[in-house]
């Protein structure tokens, strides 16, 4: 028995498996021989990637079945092996074979990515018939879809933005609905422009880039875009500067000082109370146990975090400088001078003017010639979200593309502590995947992932189902803020994988450990005695003593075995040799831009590019509209509604519920990227340091 922590890239600690070998690649009956991935390095030790490609095809050549068997296969036995591994008779292709991700080798990745359609937004001029139909539909629109002509779409963007569709009872912001509103508003003749209130955001850079792209697309309609930022940080300004006009109140809080990433360590604290973490690290960048075992940052962890921060900061400088018409050096010099005064932003052309909110609305009233009206005609985010795309002629009844959303941490089954819509429940997602695979009406599938990972078993079961789906129809994995560890595990099963420039992805590695509490027990006068049978029965049960030499050896071998299996499966899925995958694995987290150049991702882009690639793979013309069908739109149950109301009344923090959820998963195999790494790369943590330490600690299990 062993506890294994998979894919924690930084300084947190996840206690993972309890008592089960993670030794087979595919699900199969217990009576069948296991297919050991660890055989790949010896069977394919030096096979160049170019030799693994099918001639005259952009599909990845899949590893031959015999390359992953536990023993050599005689000629002509391939069909038998496919059948034994759960493929139905007559299936078009084997799920054992990678389902044709269309990327090339690392050296040719940029060129290959250029073969994908960009999905760039273009305003389409409707013909007279469609214009007439749209006017007719708006005339007979339902009451909650009615919008007065000359209205301004007003949206307040602040706090957490989820990648899931929100139900009508949710008060939070949904990225799909924000982006859909911007697309609808571009075509809606009743909308004159958009007015965005942008306040402190607690989402990642992937979502920010998606929203920013849609703002730029909206501007192609010729309508105005105005933003208002009372609190101006790097992320808020990054989004606001995409608008044509940027306003702040004269008293706005300005904090353009640069970006940071933090790491906290409990090694000294645990030492003082008599707790000794015993940790085995596999992979030089696998620093997941550092938070508990170390007192300071390791060289490898520092290298990884520095690289991520450099990518994010460099991207920020590049976007701001191109928007401002300045050089990156000029922008960096301005930031390094310490920007906290609104007047300096105005003097240097970073904002349009300093106005209060009511003054901005008065200005828009004059611009839209609504002086006689008491208030500016406006429609808010909630109401406009109810306007159907069909009403505006943006959705046809043609080919259908299924959208499967996977957001949050991964667990196999629902827990009583699970927040509604905040996590990926493996068994539920598998049902959705199977329903789409069995349906003939969907021409392609977009798997939208926003997950730092979680339960490794659930990740593997979903990986299997996604591969079966990808063998039946094109599957495009679209990464949002993060698709690392278990999130990447899911993505690599798709035909094509795309990510935003600053998506956090990769994190292929393991760490395993347990606590030696002997000194703590001695100090508090606690005694624990164990009677056991079996040489290694006390491996994890005996926390009152350190490992014996034999126990330490098997613990290390168990961790190495888990790492090799995951690494080899990743190499298999991406048609890379094990040596190539080893160079980019070892627990390291990459940005989407770098992951593309390394072969972990096929192309850089957002959801619109995923739709374009789905059309391409399904042989649907790019100029033809498709119907995007959300699989299992949210419809909260009564317990979920009560939970939501209770959270609002009693102020129960989402982070506390997630902490309890993580503690409840103690002892299961995890494929999780450390949450604190993601949170601190998306926003500095100014909370009480003691609470932050405790949160870091509990979220590690």
Active site residues: 485
Measured between alpha carbons, how far is 60 from 56 in angstroms, rounded to an integer?
A: 11
Strand partners, 245: 226
The neighbouring-strand residues paired with 41 are none
Which structure tokens are listed for 172? 């939070």
Q: Which residues contact 533 (CB under 8 A, 6 or more apart)?
A: none
Three-state helix/strand/coil letters over 122-148:
CCCCCCHHHHHHHHHHHHCCCHHHCCC
Tokens of 352: 């349009």
CA 503/CA 248 separation, integer angstroms = 29
Six token digits for residue 367: 């611009």
H/E stretch holding 678 reads helix 675-682
179: nearest Cα among 357, 482, 403, 506: 403
Q: What are the CA-CA distances from residue 629 to residues 156, 404, 445, 468 (Å)?
A: 27, 9, 9, 20
Distance CA 370, CA 360 (A): 14
List, edge to edge, every strand of the sheet that includes 245-248.
353-354, 245-248, 224-228, 191-201, 151-159, 378-380
For residue 40 the two structure tokens come to 């790949």
| Sole residue written with tokens 């920010």 | 208
226 beta partners: 195, 245
HSE of 530, CA atoms in CB hemisphere, 13 A: 13
**How many Cα atoms within 13 Å fall on the side-chain side of residue 514?**
25
Q: Are 246 and 351 in contact (CB under 8 A)?
A: yes
Query: And the tokens for 505?
Result: 């992805």
The sign of the dihedral angle between the CA atoms of 631, 661, 2, 511 is: positive
**C-beta atoms surrounding 323 within 10 Å:** 14
Q: Count each helix (H run) and each strand (E run) in the chain, helices first.
A: 26, 25
Cα(298)–Cα(284) distance, rounded to whole angstroms?
Answer: 10
Q: Closest Cα to residue 548, out of 204, 261, 103, 540?
A: 540
Question: Which bin fits 325, alpha (ψ -120 to 50), beta or left (φ > 0)?
Answer: left
Q: Which residue has the tokens 């940790």?
A: 279
Q: Which of 5, 94, 2, 3 is nearest to 509 (CA)?
A: 5
CA distance 181 to 178: 5
Per the CB < 8 A criterion, the answer to whether 432 and 632 are in contact is yes
Report the C-alpha gap between 15 and 668 in whole angstroms.
7
Residue with tokens 């789409």: 436
The DSSP secondary-structure symbol of 49 reads G
Please, which residues have CB within 8 angstroms of residue 620's CB and are 6 or more apart in sequence? 399, 443, 444, 614, 626
Three-state SS sequence of 627-652 = EEEECCCCCCCHHHHHHHHHHHHHCC
């Amino acid at each position: 028995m062993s506890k294994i922590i998979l894919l924690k890239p930084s300084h947190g600690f996840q206690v993972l498996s309890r008592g089960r070998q993670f030794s087979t690649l595919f699900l199969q009956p217990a009576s069948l021989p296991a297919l050991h991935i660890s055989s790949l390095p010896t069977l394919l030790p030096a096979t160049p990637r170019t030799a693994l490609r099918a001639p005259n095809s952009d599909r990845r050549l899949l590893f031959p079945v015999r390359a992953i068997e536990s023993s050599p296969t005689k000629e002509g036995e391939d069909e038998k092996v496919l059948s034994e591994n759960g493929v139905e008779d007559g299936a078009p292709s084997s799920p054992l074979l990678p389902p044709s991700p269309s990327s090339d080798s690392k050296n040719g990745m940029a060129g290959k990515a250029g073969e994908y359609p960009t999905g760039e937004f273009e305003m389409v001029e409707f013909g007279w018939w469609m214009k007439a139909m749209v006017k007719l539909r708006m005339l007979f629109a339902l009451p909650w879809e009615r919008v007065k002509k000359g209205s301004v779409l007003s949206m307040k963007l602040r706090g957490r933005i989820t990648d899931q569709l929100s139900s009508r009872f949710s008060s939070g912001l949904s990225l799909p609905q924000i982006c859909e509103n911007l697309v609808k508003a571009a075509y809606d003749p009743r909308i004159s422009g958009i007015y965005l209130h942008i306040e402190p955001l607690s989402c990642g850079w992937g979502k920010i880039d998606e929203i920013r792209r849609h703002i730029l697309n909206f501007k192609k309609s010729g309508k105005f875009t105005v933003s208002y930022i009372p609190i101006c940080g790097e992320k808020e300004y990054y989004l606001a500067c995409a608008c044509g006009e940027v306003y702040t109140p004269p008293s706005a809080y300005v904090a353009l000082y640069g970006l940071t990433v933090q790491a906290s360590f409990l090694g000294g604290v645990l030492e003082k109370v008599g707790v000794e973490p015993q940790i085995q690290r596999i992979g030089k960048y696998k620093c997941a146990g550092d938070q508990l075992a170390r007192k300071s940052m390791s060289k490898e962890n520092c290298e990884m975090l520095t690289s991520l921060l450099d990518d994010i900061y460099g991207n920020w400088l590049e976007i701001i400088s191109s928007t401002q018409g300045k050089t990156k050096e000029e922008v960096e010099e301005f930031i390094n001078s310490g920007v906290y005064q609104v007047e300096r932003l105005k003097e240097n052309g970073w904002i349009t003017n300093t106005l209060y909110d009511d003054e901005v609305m008065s200005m828009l009233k004059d611009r839209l010639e609504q002086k006689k009206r008491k208030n500016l005609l406006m429609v808010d985010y909630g109401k406009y979200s109810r306007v159907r795309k069909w009403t505006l002629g943006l959705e046809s009844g043609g080919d259908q593309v299924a959208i499967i959303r996977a957001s949050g941490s991964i667990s196999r089954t629902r827990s009583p502590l699970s927040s509604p819509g905040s996590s990926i429940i493996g068994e539920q997602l598998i049902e959705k995947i199977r329903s789409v695979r069995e349906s003939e009406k969907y021409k392609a599938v977009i798997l939208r992932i926003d997950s730092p990972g979680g339960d490794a078993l659930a990740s593997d079961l979903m990986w299997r189902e996604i591969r079966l789906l990808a063998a039946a129809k094109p599957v495009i994995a679209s990464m949002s803020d993060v698709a690392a560890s278990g999130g990447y595990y899911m993505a690599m099963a798709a035909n094509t994988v795309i990510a935003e420039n600053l998506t956090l992805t990769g994190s292929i590695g393991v760490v395993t450990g347990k606590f030696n509490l002997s000194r703590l027990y001695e100090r508090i006068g606690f005694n624990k005695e164990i009677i056991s049978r079996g040489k290694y029965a006390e491996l994890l049960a005996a926390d009152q003593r350190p490992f014996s030499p034999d126990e330490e050896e098997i613990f290390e071998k168990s961790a190495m075995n888990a790492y090799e299996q995951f690494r080899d499966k990743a190499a298999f899925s991406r048609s890379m040799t094990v040596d190539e995958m080893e160079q980019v694995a070892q627990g390291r987290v990459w940005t989407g831009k770098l992951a593309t150049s390394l072969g972990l991702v096929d192309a850089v882009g957002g959801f619109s590019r995923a739709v374009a690639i789905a059309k391409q793979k399904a042989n649907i013309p790019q100029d033809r509209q498709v119907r995007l069908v959300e699989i299992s739109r949210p419809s909260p149950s009564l317990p979920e509604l009560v939970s939501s109301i209770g959270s609002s009344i009693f102020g129960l923090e989402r982070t506390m519920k997630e902490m309890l959820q993580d503690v409840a998963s103690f002892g299961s195999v995890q494929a999780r990227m450390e949450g604190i790494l993601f949170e601190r790369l998306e926003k500095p943590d100014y909370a009480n340091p003691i609470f932050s330490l405790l949160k870091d600690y509990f979220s590690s299990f």
